[in-house]
Amino acid sequence: MKSNSVEFQSYMIECASSLGQELEHPTGALLLPLVQLQNMADVNYRNLSTVDNTIRNHMNGLDIEMKVQSFQAEFKRWKDSLPIVCQQPNGMNLACEVASMHVYEMDLVNICAPKKRQTTNPCKHLTSSSFTSQIRLEVLFLGLKSAGQLAQNFLSIPISEYGSLSYIQWSSIIYAITIIYRLTVGIPQLRDWDIRVARRTIDFECVLDAFCSRFNSVSLCGRDLLENGDLFSMMGSIFENIKQTYDRVKQLPQNDSADDNSPVHATSFPPSTLE
């Protein structure tokens, strides 16, 4: 399976290189660096993935630090090699933050990450003292900052340009919000993570208010799309639901908020959004 993945990545790079040499559209120049970036992020994500490493052996702080430094050096070389035309677009800025938070969250935050088949979940049985280290928490903090920066970059994009964003770019903001949410309420397998630090670093309430305001204005303009179940037009209601749930959970002590299994507001929408 791993061999097939490497072959596919090589094929993608070959195709992107070819398209970059014979541009049909100006954005074709972005294909090769974006594929390179995704490959780099995937490799470094696997290197730091707790699922991979708790099965084989437990990485110590020095191992993690060296792997992070290696990724940062590789990432800098890649950015320095970009043509000027590729360095400014919003899409490239978003992609850079996605790559960083993907690597730094170390498979601890993203609940949608594919898990390797195994008989037991190693994370479930590890205590806080055996599983965490200061360097691991520092790396996770970098992931939080990347997610926060991605949210700010997304908010800097004019609403008029939202219609031209790709599915991947829309997915990236969902990914970022998931990471910020979980790190500001806590995650069960990292009891040493301090949500107070996370909340001081990212004002999640302010971020949610900005998204609610922005997407509600979009929703009001897309009534006909809303009737057809268009997700884009429902984003305002979705973020309102996230905000309501966060307002409730943030009042709980960290141990309770990290383990919260209460019904969420996102299971229902106001009747006005569905009429």
Average pLDDT over residues 213-223: 68
Total residue count of the chain as it appears in this document:
275
Q: Is residue 161 part of a domain?
A: no
Average pLDDT over residues 126-131: 42
Distance, in Å, from the CA atom of 110 to the CA atom of 104, rounded to the nearest integer, reads 11
Distance, in Å, from the CA atom of 130 to the CA atom of 16, rounded to the nearest integer, reads 44
Q: Is residue 174 part of a domain?
A: no
Pairwise pLDDT comparison (161 vs 223), residue with the higher score: 161
Q: Is residue 130 part of a domain?
A: yes
Distance, in Å, from the CA atom of 256 to the CA atom of 258, rounded to the nearest integer, reads 5
Lowest mean pLDDT, pick from 61-75, 100-114, 133-147: 100-114
Q: What percent of the chain clears pLDDT 90, i.e. is strictly above it?
A: 31
Task: Give the chain's domain count.
Answer: 1
* Confidence class for position 31, pLDDT limits 50, 70, 90: confident
Q: Is residue 128 part of a domain?
A: yes
Q: Is residue 87 part of a domain?
A: yes
SS (H, E, C) 113-148: CCCCCCCCCHHHHCCHHHHCCHHHHHHHHHHHHHHH
Distance, in Å, from the CA atom of 194 to the CA atom of 198, rounded to the nearest integer, reads 7
Q: Is residue 229 part of a domain?
A: no
Average pLDDT over residues 74-103: 83
The single-letter DSSP state of residue 191 is T
Q: Is residue 66 part of a domain?
A: yes
Q: Is residue 51 part of a domain?
A: yes
Domain that holds residue 105: 2-146
Q: In the prediction, which pLDDT does 49 show?
A: 81
